[in-house]
Amino acid sequence: MSNAGFLKSSIGKKVIMGATGLFLITFLMVHCFINMLIFFQDGGETFNKGAEFMGTNWLIRAMEIVLFVGIILHIVQALVLTLENRKARPVPYEKINGAANSSWYSRSMGLLGTLILMFLIIHLKHFWVVSRFTDHIAHNEYEKLPGQETLFKEMMEVFENPMVVLVYVLAMISLTYHLLHGFQSAFQTFGLNHRKYTPIIKKTGIAFSIIICTLFASMPIAMHFGFVK
């Protein structure tokens, strides 16, 4: 099969879903690690340094382009796969005890993905647009011009609103379930099906999904309730 033929085949599309998914998982780990710097209780000094590095390092900026291409590819392939599956089977499967045969979240990847996409649009508007496309954000407290805030202070302000905190927490619950299925599905796509290793991969996926999303959810909560100073 030619390369183009492979990418257009359903397995090719699943490989793109899996590869972009694994790349996005790596991004989540780095993003979570940098964000955890808010817990240093130093008025955001360490966090702002981390954010400045992420915003100015050329390699990270280049990866940002790869990241956005990855997100778009992941979404487009998900839509194409869903439409093709529907076309291949216009009459839906008769659902005989669906809950016993698969988890609800593996059957709801589209819904969970859409909720995460809605979160992402709100989220990018909150921070990324403000920090990259306006001059409202200062790198640190000492270089602040009138009318500017550091990214840390901007986060504190955004998370003053309890509705925003609620949206973030609900999004992190959606992300947990999306990752619970996505993590092991990606490994399965790459043929990693092994008597000894598959259970370990499954457990790692469960731990990863829960830990990373709980850490993310703890940030708006901690900032809202004043646990971060």
Q: Which of 107, 123, 144, 153 binds ligand HEM (CB under 6 A)?
A: 123
Binds ligand HEM (CB under 6 A): choice among 127, 141, 204, 208? 127
Asked whether position 114 contacts ligand HEM by CB under 6 A, the answer is no
C-alpha 84: how far from chain center: 25
**Sole window of 2-10, 75-83, 184-192, 212-220 interacting with ligand HEM (rule: CB under 6 A):** 212-220
Distance from the Cα of residue 151 to its chain's centroid: 20
Q: Which residues pair with 149 in a beta bridge?
A: 137
How far is it, in rounded angstroms, from Cα 8 to Cα 100?
Answer: 32
- 183 neighbors 205 (Cβ within 8 angstroms): yes
Q: Which positions ≥6 away from 129 have C-beta within 8 Å?
A: none
**Residue choice 54, 111, 164, 222 for contact with ligand HEM (CB under 6 A):** 54
CB of 220 to ligand HEM, least distance (A): 6
Task: List the x/- string, 130-149, binding to ligand HEM by CB under 6 A.
Answer: -x------------------
User: At closest approach, how far in Å is the CB of 79 from ligand HEM?
Assistant: 18
Decide whether 35 or 46 has the Cβ nearer to ligand HEM. 35
Phi, psi of 149 (to 5 degrees): -130, 155
Closest distance of CB 89 from ligand HEM, Å: 30
Dist. CA 205–CA 182, nearest whole Å: 9
Residues 6 or more apart from 74 whose CB is under 8 A from it? 16, 17, 20, 21, 24
The reply on whether position 128 binds ligand HEM by CB under 6 A is yes
Of 152 and 187, which has the nearer Cβ to ligand HEM?
A: 152
∠ CA 31-36-40, nearest 5°, is 145
Which residue reads 């399965």 in tokens?
188
Residue 164 and residue 176 in contact, taking contact as beta carbons nearer than 8 Å: no
Q: Which of 77, 109, 165, 168 binds ligand HEM (CB under 6 A)?
A: 168
Residue span binding ligand HEM (CB under 6 A) among the ranges 12-20, 90-98, 101-109, 125-133:
125-133
| Interface pick for ligand HEM out of 19, 25, 55, 75 (rule CB under 6 A) | 55
Greatest Cα pair distance, the chain, in angstroms, is 64
Is residue 155 a contact residue for ligand HEM (CB under 6 A)?
yes
Residues that bind ligand HEM (CB under 6 A): 31, 35, 51, 54-55, 64, 116, 120, 123-124, 127-128, 131, 151, 155, 168, 172, 175, 216, 219-220
